[in-house]
Amino acid sequence: MEPNLVSPSQRRNFLMIMLGGVGSLLAVAAGWPLVRFLMPSDTGDAASQVAIDRTLVTPGTAHLFQFQGRPAVVLQTAPGEFVALSAVCTHLGCIVQWQEEESQFLCPCHAGRFSTDGSVISGPPPKPLEILPVTLDGDQVLVG
Amino acid sequence: MIRQTILCCGFLVVLVCGLLVSPAAAQQDETVCIQCHGGLPDALGVPVGEWRQSLHADNGISCHDCHGGDPTDFAMAMSPERGFLGAPDYTAVPEFCGRCHVGVLGDYQESAHGQALQAGGAQCVMCHGNHAVQKASLDLINPESCARCHDYERADKIKGILADTDGKIIAMEEELARLGKLGMAVEAFEGQLFDLRNRFHRAFHTVKEARVREQTGEVLAGLETLRAGVDEIDAGLGQRKLWGGVAIALLVLAGILFLQMRKTYEEDEKG
Amino acid sequence: MSPLKMLVDFLDVRLGVRDIFAKEVSGYLLPRRVNAWYTLGAVLLTLFGLQIFTGILLLVYYVPHADLAFASVQAIVNDVPFGWLIRMLHAVGANVIVIALLLHMLSVLFMAAYKGRREFTWLSGFVLFNLTMGLCLTGYLLPWSQLSFWATTVATDTPGAIPVVGDFLVEFLRGGATVGNQTLGRFFALHVVGMPLILLGLIGFHLFCVKRRGISTPPFGEDYLADELLPFFEHEEHPAGIPFFPNYVVKDAAVICFFLAFLLAIIFYLPGLFFPPSAFEPADPFVTPPGIKPEWYFLWAYQTLKIFPSEIIGLGVQGAFMTFLALLPFIDRGRERRPAKRPVFVTCYVLGILLFVAISIWGHYS
């Protein structure tokens, strides 16, 4: 057998570098599926419209529903006039409650108050509630 | 202590073995119809054996589904009170089968066969058989069968028009079955194909050339859409194989490199 | 100073990690003739780790309810990105574990490594093997397919042959008269928490036994000397041996890579190997699919039960055989470990393997 001119430790260093390369490729090959597996799924409801039965939204009451994965509320302010708002308080993200007697929204967490157009009446919320577009289609109230 | 461990272990072993599989198979529930008729001679018992081999049996359609009656009660099984119908007369067969096969019934009644029913025209069981009914195929259109009433020429012409498309439907069924065995979600495709196949086979029952040709066009368009879906799944599977191959190659390479590393250490160990 | 060295220094002054490493890893000496079969422990550790990891990932989307389980698995395989890969790694990985376990056990038997006061190592390993079978059995039900449902129905029916308590045992296993949502609940709890916890504990004990007693010397070569059994505890040292790290770890790593490549090869090129068509049909308690067969590693047991005229005799024979295997180190007390000097044992060993294979094939085709 021919004597090996390269010493074992030299070969080892070379092999280490090769293994480092192969290992990082394998790490990517294992990491990519993992990240994709755990990615929030795109359920496609971001663009969708929500239809609500008009009878659910009588004058003076509020109806809570899910819009694009977040709570929203629709109410009939005057006969035939509908308003839809995000129900997520702009302060810390609690869900606002409709106060029928006072005709305003109250956030139970830190007493933020909003009017029916979403603007802040009092309390800590820094911004008004987001207004969602509403259209009427026969017996259906379409939000979005 | 050791003895206790041994005892515990022995018990565990027996328990685990107790969990292992035995050949006891669950028995299929049999209706009173089958229990009784299964043991009867000749015309009263033969249908049971024929039915067992049929497409109806495969799909859980049993005696009472067609003949009515009460499959749970020996005494009242064949009582008209419980909806027992018995065997239909020759001319009543199309309505009998057509309770489920509504679409085909409509097309059949429009056809020359259906129009001639009272005069002894062909009805369902003449071609499809009764208890031993199988999945319909083009083989049902053949000289021996058709020539019982008229010459085969016109039937052969229609068969010719059907053959190509029918072959494509069968090929697609096989494709979907292949993907299904790989765990792919092809239920929606299978549903579409089932609908196409039914529309296509219905059309034949009009025995009108023009109608069959018209349906063929629609079915072929539907098959194209399915083909595209199947191709997409296959392309995805091909991609998987490719990347899987790369990952396997990398692992084998890493294994070989590690073995080479081991060799360098072996040299050190000798020296 | 490199950040890595700083981190190690930080840990070293607090936990003495360099000392542990020097004693237990780089200073852990293995016998000079240590062979490739000794890597199977590391392979199994890796594969069990992979099962736990992929199992946790599957739990993210799996729903343990009879009405939803099948659909959730279908969604994992078809809708979740790379869900098919995670599911296949878990399901095929279980089969590869059984292969590795069998090889591990067979190599230990052949080299008689259970000898020399290593009864606890063998016993804990044998219980681990049975526990893995239990994990396979409980995991099999979770996808709630026709295969899951009927394989479990048949498997849980077996204890019914035991006199007096049989019927009660069957009902207790199932949580009801038949396999149903209650069965899924208990199998899920066992598969996901109960058995893995015991498994981890047992693996810990198994490794402790291996390290405490000292790894066995392969019984080959002219310089082999039988263990000297003193009347007190003794840690078997290999003073002239090779260091576990880095010298032998690279061999462990190589075999692990080959096993993973083997696992991926099945997943990508033979995906249907462990999945008959009934694995893709939702469970239907009213329709028994024809020809339901247990998994390949239960075929021998399935066929044994068929051979004997009564099920209770079959169960008894299986129980006796498994008990014999479990207690082998207490029965086979001779000191000789070299296969060439143990002709009777080696003959039984080879015949045993052939019998296992033959009965399994018979079971497959019967």
Structure letter (DSSP) for residue C248: I
pLDDT category at B248 given cuts 50, 70, 90 is very high
- pLDDT for position B60: 84
Interface mutation vs chain C, best among B20, B59, B182, B252, most C CBs within 10 Å: B20
The shortest CB-CB distance from C315 to any of B17, B28, B268 is to B17
- pLDDT for position C361: 95
Q: Kindly identify which residue of chain B lies nearest to residue C269, measuring between CA atoms.
A: B241
- Assess C287–B contact: CB distance below 8 Å, yes or no: yes
Largest alpha-carbon pair distance within chain A?
A: 100
Q: C223 to each of A137, C70, C218, C219, C226, how far by Cα in Å?
A: 93, 59, 11, 9, 10
- pLDDT for position B5: 47
Between CA B98 and CA C18 the distance in angstroms is 84
Helix axes C249-269, C83-110, angle to 10 degrees: 130
Phi-psi region of C338 (alpha: psi -120 to 50; beta: other; left: phi over 0): beta
The set of chains that have 3 or more CB pairs under 8 A with B is A, C
Q: Do C169 and B18 touch (CB under 8 A)?
A: yes
Q: Take residue C145 and report the two structure tokens written for it.
A: 């397919």
- CB distance B130 to B137 below 8 Å: no
Q: Take residue B60 and report the two structure tokens written for it.
A: 């859980």
ipTM of the complex: 0.94
- pLDDT for position C19: 95
The pTM (predicted TM-score) of the whole model is 0.82
- Assess B6–C contact: CB distance below 8 Å, yes or no: yes
Q: Is B202 within the bounds of a domain?
A: yes
Radius of gyration of the CA atoms of chain C, in A: 23
Structure letter (DSSP) for residue C190: I
The shortest CB-CB distance from B254 to any of A8, A11, A19 is to A19
Q: Take residue C288 and report the two structure tokens written for it.
A: 């028994």
Is residue B18 scored above 60 in pLDDT? Answer: no
Between CA B259 and CA A55 the distance in angstroms is 74
Which whole number is the average pLDDT over C273-289? 89
The set of chains that have 3 or more CB pairs under 8 A with C is A, B
Interface mutation vs chain B, best among A22, A24, A26, most B CBs within 10 Å: A22
User: Pick the residue with more confidence: B212 or C90?
Assistant: C90
Is residue C319 scored above 80 in pLDDT? Answer: yes
| Number of alpha carbons in the 13 Å side-chain half-sphere of residue A15 | 22
Q: Which H helix or E strand runs over C147?
A: helix C146-157
Q: Take residue C323 and report the two structure tokens written for it.
A: 């008990």
User: Of chain C residues 154-213, which have a CB less than 8 A from chain B?
Assistant: 154-162, 169, 173
Do strands A104-106 and A81-86 pair parallel, antiparallel, or not at all (unpaired)?
unpaired
Q: Do B264 and A19 touch (CB under 8 A)?
A: no
Coil, strand or helix at A131: strand
The shortest CB-CB distance from C268 to any of B18, B245, B254 is to B245
Q: Take residue B223 and report the two structure tokens written for it.
A: 């098959």
C contacts of A37 (beta carbons < 8 Å): 57, 60, 80-83, 86
Structural domain span for residue B209: 137-240
Which whole number is the average pLDDT over C129-154? 96
Structure letter (DSSP) for residue A117: T
Q: In 10 A of CB C251, how many CB atoms?
A: 21
Low-confidence winner among B18-22, B28-32, C31-35, C254-258 (lowest mean pLDDT): B18-22
- CB distance B207 to B112 below 8 Å: yes
- pLDDT for position A44: 53
Q: Which H helix or E strand runs over C264?
A: helix C249-269
Radius of gyration of the CA atoms of chain B, in A: 30
Tokens 């069965």, residue? C183
- pLDDT for position A43: 59
**Between A and B, how many residue pairs show a Cβ–Cβ distance under 8 A?**
33
Is residue B25 scored above 80 in pLDDT? Answer: no
pLDDT category at C68 given cuts 50, 70, 90 is very high
- CB distance C263 to C93 below 8 Å: yes
Is residue C2 scored above 80 in pLDDT? Answer: yes
Distance from CA of A38 to the nearest CA of B (A): 19
Helix axes C40-61, C249-269, angle to 10 degrees: 50
The set of chains that have 3 or more CB pairs under 8 A with A is B, C
Which whole number is the average pLDDT over B127-153? 89
Distance from CA of B56 to the nearest CA of C (A): 14
Q: Which H helix or E strand runs over C356?
A: helix C343-365
The pLDDT tens digits for B104-114 are: 888 898 888 99
Between CA B189 and CA A25 the distance in angstroms is 38
Q: Is B196 within the bounds of a domain?
A: yes
Per DSSP, which regions of C190-321 are E strands?
A: 242-243
The pLDDT tens digits for C181-196 are: 999 999 999 999 999 9
A contacts of B243 (beta carbons < 8 Å): 29
Q: Do B254 and A22 touch (CB under 8 A)?
A: yes
The shortest CB-CB distance from C250 to any of B183, B248, B265 is to B265
Low-confidence winner among A39-43, B226-230, C203-207 (lowest mean pLDDT): A39-43
Q: Kindly identify which residue of chain B lies nearest to residue A13, measuring between CA atoms.
A: B261
Average pLDDT, chain B: 85
DSSP labels, C62-131 = ---STTTHHHHHHHHHHTSTTHHHHHHHHHHHHHHHHHHHHHHHHHHHHTTTTTTT-HHHHHHHHHHHHH
Helices marked H in chain B = 2-19, 32-37, 42-52, 55-58, 63-67, 93-98, 102-110, 112-115, 124-128, 143-146, 153-181, 187-204, 209-270
Is residue B13 scored above 50 in pLDDT? Answer: no
Q: Take residue C154 and report the two structure tokens written for it.
A: 């048949």
Q: Which H helix or E strand runs over C20?
A: helix C17-20
Q: Which has the closest alpha carbon to A128: A144, A101, A104, A99?
A: A104
Q: Top-level CATH class of A50-143? A: mainly beta
Q: Take residue C209 and report the two structure tokens written for it.
A: 């036994």
Domain boundaries, chain C: 17-216+236-271
Tokens 């509630």, residue? A129
Between CA B203 and CA B219 the distance in angstroms is 11
The pLDDT tens digits for C69-127 are: 999 999 999 999 999 999 999 999 999 999 999 999 999 999 999 998 999 999 999 99
Q: Do B250 and A25 touch (CB under 8 A)?
A: yes
- Assess C224–B contact: CB distance below 8 Å, yes or no: no
Largest alpha-carbon pair distance within chain B?
A: 104
Q: Is B83 within the bounds of a domain?
A: no
Is residue B17 scored above 60 in pLDDT? Answer: no
C240, with CB counted inside 10 A (0-12, 13-18, 19+), is: exposed
Query: Sheet holding A134-137: strands in order across?
Result: A50-53, A140-143, A134-137
Q: Do C254 and B14 touch (CB under 8 A)?
A: no
- pLDDT for position B21: 34
- Assess B178–C contact: CB distance below 8 Å, yes or no: no
- CB distance C149 to C143 below 8 Å: no
Q: Do C80 and A37 touch (CB under 8 A)?
A: yes
B contacts of C130 (beta carbons < 8 Å): 12-13, 16
Between CA C366 and CA C353 the distance in angstroms is 20
Q: B190 to each of B193, B225, B243, how far by Cα in Å?
A: 5, 12, 29
Distance from CA of A43 to the nearest CA of B (A): 18
| Domains identified in chain B, total number | 1
| Series of mean pLDDT values for 10-residue runs along chain A (144 residues) | 74 96 96 94 66 88 87 89 92 90 90 93 93 90 88
A contacts of C79 (beta carbons < 8 Å): 41
Is residue B10 scored above 50 in pLDDT? Answer: no
- pLDDT for position A108: 86
Q: Do C242 and B245 touch (CB under 8 A)?
A: no
- pLDDT for position C89: 98
Average pLDDT, chain C: 94
Q: Take residue C237 and report the two structure tokens written for it.
A: 């040292």
Q: In 10 A of CB C67, how many CB atoms?
A: 10
Instruction: Choose which CATH entry (2.60.370.10, 2.60.40.650, 1.20.810.10, 2.40.160.10) describes domain C17-216+236-271.
Output: 1.20.810.10
Is residue B9 scored above 80 in pLDDT? Answer: no
- pLDDT for position B212: 84
Structure letter (DSSP) for residue C247: I
Which whole number is the average pLDDT over C198-205? 98
Is residue B241 scored above 90 in pLDDT? Answer: yes
Is residue B40 scored above 60 in pLDDT? Answer: yes
C contacts of A36 (beta carbons < 8 Å): 81-82
CA dihedral C81, C84, C86, C87 (to 10 degrees): 140
Q: Is B93 within the bounds of a domain?
A: no
- CB distance C43 to C107 below 8 Å: no
- CB distance C74 to B185 below 8 Å: yes
Dihedrals φ, ψ of B100, to 5°?
-100, -45
Which whole number is the average pLDDT over B189-210? 86
Q: Is B180 within the bounds of a domain?
A: yes
